[in-house]
Amino acid sequence: MLDGVFKTADSEDGGTLLPLDMMSLLKTLFPLPRSLTGDGVRATLQALKKHIPLDIHEVATGTKVFDWDVPREWNIRGATIKTLDGRVLVDFADSNLHVVGYSVPVRGTFTREQLAAHIHTLPDQPDAIPYRTSYYAENWGFCLPHSLWQTMQDEAYEVEIDSELADGALTYGEFLIPGETEQEILISVHICHPSLANDNLSGITVATALVRHFLAQPKPRFGIRFLFLPATIGAITWLAQNEDHLDRIVHGLVLTCIGDDGPFHYKKTVNGAVVDLATEHVLRHSGHAFETLEFSPYGYDERQYGSPGIALPVGCLMRAIHGTFPEYHTSLDNCDFVTSEALGQSFRLLVDLIDLLQRNVTYRRVDGRGEPQLGRRGLYRAIAGQKEAGGASQMDLLWILNQCDGNRSLLDIAERAKAPFSRIRAAAELCLNAELITEVRP
């Protein structure tokens, strides 16, 4: 970071960040062979480092992280299924979904019956390749379209998976935009899925765009910590290694499946938190269709951040819900399934949400005895100017003057007034400038 701005080759003046082309970044990352560990994850993080500053951590195989151990590292160079006369039918080079994640190396001739035990298809989606893994049980397998498997009627095939499962490290990326306080907002995305555009390259690209956006803004009230982790074991590893500092996290979001054109879905935190109210507020005033979901211990890493003894206020923002759309965990979740418009909508919604969390201050009236005289302070003229710009109205001002008792936050007031947070915040700024209210410090 240089003077609060990360300077990159795509900065026209060498100092101001341009908006990130999220779709272009997504397409660049799409073919990289990501998994829980390995060089595909490293290549992904190095690609992100071209756009944002990122601290890359390596945690050695066997490291104890709560009830888990960091697994062995997996890398793959290639894999094929061939006919006995050498014709290639399935090739990892064509799609990195073709091989079950963490497949052990194998090479030999297998009868069709033997091979069938290691073949995964989707009969209900005959032209799609499924995504399958075998992280914690040594096995091997291929994933292919059911329509292709039905044509493979030879008695035997040549099979090769050129992979390696050995001691190494788990790799993850992290970056903190420091704030005025030690308290932090956590943004977490998973980076272990291979060529799946919505789940979760959409989260990765939007999070990267958010880093660039907030780096170019004035220093925030809360720090913003971004994590790019393999799912489950990555979050558990980060939590175990940062247990002494978890109380700094005051708000958090897991981002996933936010690149499709469907309605937004927000899954609440484990115990209820301000981020729940804030997210629902922003969604309600966004103009987008949305639904809120209660917490469940099934899903993405919000369940790790919300586990007993941790219980961080971290929710999950999605558009399509995992496991409920036909493209989920198949080759149909490709770059055509994600749209630039949807990525942009998700980005703008998150900018508004993070801004709200940063600006959700509590004020009290300097003199709360009765309604203050507004005319002589020029507040009616100020409101007229604000209203023309879509800012505060007279009612917003009256709500602020009535509700700023030192206990209610601006979000509380916005909810009660049924007004967008931005208008209530604008009204508070007018009152603050007129010395009618003062901030309540914790």
Residues 111-154: pLDDT tens digits? 999 999 999 999 999 999 999 999 999 999 999 999 999 999 99
- Which DSSP string do the residues of 275-326 spell out, in sequence order? HHHHHHHHHHTTSS-EEEE---SSSSTHHHHTSTTT---EEEEESSPTTSST
Give the tens place of pLDDT for each residue, 377-415. 778 666 765 554 457 888 999 999 999 999 999 999 999
Which residues sit opposite 316 in a β-bridge?
Answer: 254, 267
So what's the pLDDT on residue 347?
A: 97
- Which DSSP string do the residues of 18-63 spell out, in sequence order? PPP-HHHHHHHHTTS---SSSHHHHHHHHHHHTTS--EEEEEETT-
69/63 Cα distance (integer angstroms): 5
Q: Is residue 155 part of a domain?
A: yes
Q: Is residue 12 part of a domain?
A: no
Place of tokens 């009256």: 398
CATH number for the domain including 380? 1.10.10.10
204 and 331 share one domain? yes
27 and 120 share one domain? no
130 and 248 share one domain? no
Of 117, 133, 166, the residue that ends a domain is 166
So what's the pLDDT on residue 206?
A: 98
Which residues sit opposite 79 in a β-bridge?
Answer: 161
Q: Is residue 4 part of a domain?
A: no
Query: Over pLDDT 90: what percentage of the chain?
Result: 88
CATH number for the domain including 66? 3.40.630.10
Known binding-site positions: 193, 199, 329
Q: Is residue 425 part of a domain?
A: yes
248 and 347 share one domain? yes
Q: Is the pLDDT of residue 49 over 60?
A: yes
Q: What average pLDDT does the structure give for the chain?
A: 93
238 and 149 share one domain? no
Q: Is the pLDDT of residue 48 over 90?
A: yes
What pairing do the DSSP bridges indicate for beta strands 405-409 and 156-166? unpaired
349 and 382 share one domain? no
Number of domains making up the chain:
3
Mean pLDDT lowest for which of 46-60, 178-192, 319-333, 392-406? 392-406
**What's the mean pLDDT in 184-210?**
97
**What's the mean pLDDT in 176-195?**
98
336 and 379 share one domain? no
411: three-class secondary structure by DSSP: helix
Name the residue range of residue 390's domain. 362-439
Six token digits for residue 332: 């149909």
288 and 265 share one domain? yes
CATH number for the domain including 156? 3.50.30.90
156 and 124 share one domain? yes
199: three-class secondary structure by DSSP: helix
Kindly state the helix (H) or strand (E) to which residue 202 belongs, with its residue range: helix 202-215
Q: Is residue 15 part of a domain?
A: no
Q: Which residue, among 50, 165, 159, has the nearest Cα to 104 in the 3D structure?
A: 165
192 and 285 share one domain? yes
Give the tens place of pLDDT for each residue, 306-316. 999 999 999 99
Of 111, 137, 166, the residue that ends a domain is 166
386/394 Cα distance (integer angstroms): 10
Q: Is residue 54 part of a domain?
A: yes
Q: Is residue 14 part of a domain?
A: no
263 and 408 share one domain? no
pTM: 0.94
So what's the pLDDT on residue 95?
A: 98
Q: Is residue 213 part of a domain?
A: yes
Give the tens place of pLDDT for each residue, 330-373. 999 999 999 999 999 999 999 999 999 999 999 999 988 888 87
347 and 266 share one domain? yes
Of 166, 196, 214, the residue that ends a domain is 166
Known binding-site positions for Zn(2+): 193, 199, 329
